[in-house]
Amino acid sequence: MRAMERAGRAAGFTTSDFRRTLGAFATGVTVVTTRGMWHPYGMTANAFSSLSLDPPLVLVCVRSGAEGSEQIAANRVFAVNILAADQEALSRYFASRTRPRGRHAFRDVDHRTGVTGSPILSDVAASMDCRLQSVQEAGDHQIFIGEVVDLDVAPDVEPLLFHGGRYRRAQSDDA
């Protein structure tokens, strides 16, 4: 039995209850990318946060033992691409278990190479290219803390959101 299931039962709730509760918090949607000696890698993630302004630090959380955590740990660099409202298909692509891997991972994805070598996706709301500063173990995830070495933001681009298990768009007050 997984530790979360054991802890949840002791606390009076299940893993499904916990997941559903977390889904009440609206998050942005990112694609975290990295590149090492062999090939680029990307994955959809919403466990992302700013951490510090000075120095400029961000964090991403990735399931321990997953290909993404292994790639970031080995490459020591990653980029966070904050998706625009019209990039749901890109999020689904990088979340798919059947997407191309290895050298073909970005074959059909418009991108450029960032200063760290990580792919920076085109037409995103914003991107941050990072050098890995530290890794922390926490439950079934690893927390990757990166120092931002380059960034870009597109003015007036609405972000893609995720809430209640569905993709959403921000509602503008200007409507």
Q: Which tens digits make up the pLDDT trace of 35-82? A: 987 889 999 998 999 999 999 999 999 999 999 999 999 999 999 999
The predicted structure's pLDDT at residue 9:
54
Report residue 1's pLDDT band, with 50, 70 and 90 as the boundaries. very low
Token match 């893609």: residue? 160
pLDDT band at 170; cut points 50, 70, 90: confident
Specify the CATH number for 14-20+28-165; select among 2.30.110.10, 3.40.50.150, 3.40.50.1000, 3.30.565.10: 2.30.110.10
Among 133, 127, 148, 143, smallest CA distance to 30 is for: 127
Mean pLDDT across the chain: 90
Mean of pLDDT values over 155-163: 91
Please report where in the chains the tokens 């955590």 appear, as a residue.
69
Which of 126, 125, 100 is closest to 40 using CA atoms? 100
Please report which helix (H) or strand (E) contains residue 152, including its range.
strand 141-153
Backbone angles phi, psi at 79, to 5 degrees: -125, 145
| pLDDT tens per residue, range 103-130 | 899 999 999 999 999 999 999 999 999 9
pLDDT at 15: 86
Using CB atoms within 10 Å of the CB of residue 81, give its burial: 0 to 12 exposed, 13 to 18 middle, 19+ buried. buried
Q: Could you give the CA distance from residue 71 to residue 170 in angstroms, rounded to a whole number?
A: 32
Strand partners, 35: 40
**Predicted local distance difference test score (pLDDT) of residue 29:** 95
Tell me whether residue 120 is exposed, middle or buried, using C-beta atoms within 10 angstroms of its C-beta: 0 to 12, 13 to 18, 19 or more: buried
At 126 the three-state DSSP class reads strand
